[in-house]
Amino acid sequence: MQTQVTQDVPNKKLTFVREFNAPVEKVWNAWTQSEYLDQWWAPKPWKARTKSMDFSEGGKWIYAMVGPDGAEMWAMVEYQKIVNHKMYEATDAFSDENGNVSTEFPNMKWKNSFSTTDKGTEVHIEVNFKSEADMETIVKMGVIEGFTAAHGNLDEVLASM
């Protein structure tokens, strides 16, 4: 299965749609529990490493993307709205290792929706930006290629769950 990606520049939005061959509960857990996120979130050869995670409204996930040379890029996700097994909304931002948001890079508003299909679960992700320039910066950093590659990692994790 391939990830479908749409770039809507005038509306400052990226949309990713991907179907996974697993039930909603399993896919939801893979997106919301750090022990699974650490296994798939980063595109290989990078790895994700969680420092802390509180998947609740107002909670945060602080993690590092760790490169093969040990270099770390820290990020923080803050959850605003959660509807169990259906959707969540969050702000995703580059940060330091304590979750202090970096002003050097744009942050993004995410809305992830999960729905049952004949083959498993479709995840529909809308990523919204404050400006076209912010969106362009993140796209140039490789978010489309990296996130698409990470979805392949998720297929492997779901098969082993």
Each residue's pLDDT tens digit, 40-64 = 999 999 999 999 999 999 999 999 9
Give the pLDDT confidence score for residue 142 in this predicted structure.
Answer: 94
Is the pLDDT confidence value at 145 over 90?
Answer: yes
Per cent of the chain over pLDDT 90 is: 99
pLDDT, average across residues 58-77: 97
Is the pLDDT confidence value at 18 over 90?
Answer: yes
pTM given for the model: 0.94
Q: How would DSSP label each residue in the chain?
A: ---EEEEETTTTEEEEEEEESS-HHHHHHHHH-HHHHHHHSSPTT-EEEEEEE--STT-EEEEEEE-TTS-EEEEEEEEEEEETTTEEEEEEEEB-TT-PBPSSS--EEEEEEEEE-SSSEEEEEEEE-SSHHHHHHHHHTTHHHHHHHHHHHHHHHHHH-
Is the pLDDT confidence value at 34 over 90?
Answer: yes
Closest CA to 114 of 149, 150, 76, 83: 83
User: Taking the CB of residue 83, how many other CB atoms lie within 10 A of it?
Assistant: 10
Give the pLDDT confidence score for residue 11 in this predicted structure.
Answer: 97
Give the pLDDT confidence score for residue 1 in this predicted structure.
Answer: 78
pLDDT, average across residues 136-154: 95
Give the pLDDT confidence score for residue 140 in this predicted structure.
Answer: 96
